[in-house]
Amino acid sequence: MTEVVPKRFRALFISDVHLGTRGCQADKLLDFLRYHEADTIYLVGDIVDGWALRSSWYWPQAHNDVVQKLLRQGRKGARIVYIPGNHDEFLRGYYGTHFGGIEVAETAIHEGADGRRYLVVHGDIFDMVVTQARWLALLGDKAYEFAIAANRVFNALRRIFGAPYWSLSQWAKLKVKNAVNYIGAFEKALAAEAKRHDAQGVVCGHIHHAAIHDDFGLRYVNCGDWVESCTAVAEGHDGVFAIINWARPGHDRAPAAPARVEAA
């Protein structure tokens, strides 16, 4: 077997893995971590899904392997910062502590290679549904789980006929007008919070929609998720931020054509 030589980045940002759910694509994340390392790894919330684990326990070996792989990268010298989200809010009582070398923090400031400051935050506190109507968030979470399960059946049939993966839930998010408006409002709120922290950019997760843009007068970066899109964000040593999509069938074990945005 050919030895894997990981590509090393200045920083990696990973969010919304949802370990503990059947929708989590832990095998793809493990594969990604085999080929990518970084000086600093930010876990930008919802890495473990405490909501799901409270209702029913699901923790296959692959989910444990993801945890062990991250701990191993920490032992090899990577700084790992865990910023809890709403699904792993049980960790919010441990800000300032370390678990196996992993720092737990409410937010972080990442300084880019070009000196630009990025606020790193999960983003759920800017979601009115989560903060003001928790029951609706929980209901929406169950609906999302149903959509993911339906996706698995639908795409199993598509594979039989040689058709590529297609996401019902991602299509609905982008086609429903209110959902598009919600994403825009969320991005705008995160941009305003970054400015309040005297930062020139923000890196977040929560809405499972990977993006890099400068629409609000600063750099907005969203990591995406490891339930459907299987995306992470990387900062190279040249200061370039890029979305790496690890869900493409038949990928060549390298981020051959990630979305790239120059760190101006």
Where do the domains of the chain lie? 7-261
- Chain position carrying tokens 């010298």: 77
Give the 3-state secondary structure of residue 230: coil
Which residue from 251, 13, 24, 46 is spatially nearest to 112, judged by alpha carbons? 13
Token couple for 252:
């060549």
Residues 43 and 23: their CA atoms lie apart, in Å, by: 18
pLDDT of residue 162: 74
pLDDT of residue 112: 97
Q: Which amino acid is at 36?
A: H
* Average pLDDT, 10 consecutive residues per value, the chain (264 residues): 83 98 95 97 97 93 98 95 95 93 96 96 74 40 56 65 64 51 82 95 94 95 94 96 82 43 40
- Chain position carrying tokens 């989560």: 130
- Note the pTM of the prediction, 2 decimals: 0.80
Q: Which CATH number fits domain 7-261: 3.40.190.10, 3.60.21.10, 3.10.20.600, 3.30.70.890?
A: 3.60.21.10
pLDDT of residue 95: 96
pLDDT of residue 173: 54
pLDDT of residue 196: 94
Give the 3-state secondary structure of residue 220: strand
How far is the CA of 49 from the CAs of 61, 89, 137, 227, in angstroms?
16, 9, 14, 12
